[in-house]
Amino acid sequence: QFIHRDLCPRNIVVTEPDLVVKLIDFGLVVPNTPNFQAPGNRTGTAAYMAPELVRRQRTDPRIDIYSYAVTCYEMFTRRHPWPEATSLEAVVQHLNNPPLEIDTLVPGIDPQIAQAIMKGLERDPAQRWSRVPLMVDEFRQAAERLGLPRPGSHDGESPAVEASPAKSPPRSSSPTTPLSRTVAAESNPGTVPAPVAAAKREGTPPPPDPPQKPATKPRVKGMPPKAPPRPKATTDEDMILDFLNQPQDPQE
């Protein structure tokens, strides 16, 4: 079992023409093992990060369930459950306040679908779905009950994937001896190249090899001084400020 750690709309694609939903970008995937669940990890996209990630607490696959629920909420409502995490107030709301019930924004949403999404948005990981398939099964049951087509179902066979033609190996760009000269020297071992033979007949030494440029050492640029370590965050407000002051690069 693995943890994706960056499940958000930009990492979900729909293929054409068969309309199969696929998850992409596995650059941050880690195994679901204790050494990758240790407190302190903070990876992903801020608006889709579970509260335990912001607080640098222990994590597990339920952070993906939370991100998936935020994505589903956004798909139905065209908005985030909370304001995006770009200010102190927004992050406090993200951590401490429940999201607006989805059926108040989309009155016609199926209750089973609404309940599945809201359970995935629980702040406490223990209150969320324990596994992604359990949440997905709720959606499938609702789709069957409503008579909706199952995602990815289509008539006929899947289109064949054409193999791209094999590329020929690239030619070497380094200078080489002309082919005719090489073959002549190999077929007549006793012969020597014309410039050397002419020099021997005239009693003059062969022309010297062109001088080689001395190897130059690469310049080493000075490393900038390291910044002093940050004090460890102790309260929720300290952790929020630390979260906002750090770059939200997925590679963090």
Residues 30, 6 contacting (CB under 8 angstroms):
no
Radius of gyration of the chain (CA): 32
Architecture of domain 2-31+43-152+239-245: Orthogonal Bundle (1.10)
Percent above pLDDT 70 for the chain = 53
pLDDT tens digit sequence for 6-42:
889 999 999 988 889 899 988 788 887 776 777 766 6
Q: Where do the domains of the chain lie?
A: 2-31+43-152+239-245
Q: Which two tokens stand for residue 189?
A: 């071992």
Closest CA to 137 of 120, 162, 157, 156: 120
Band (pLDDT 50/70/90 cuts) for residue 185 is very low
Q: What is the pTM of this model?
A: 0.59
pLDDT tens digit sequence for 233-244:
556 556 665 655
Band (pLDDT 50/70/90 cuts) for residue 4 is confident
- Name the DSSP letter for residue 217: P
DSSP per position, 50-102: -HHHHTT----THHHHHHHHHHHHHHHHSS-SS--SSSHHHHHHHHHSPPPPH
Residues 100, 70 contacting (CB under 8 angstroms):
no
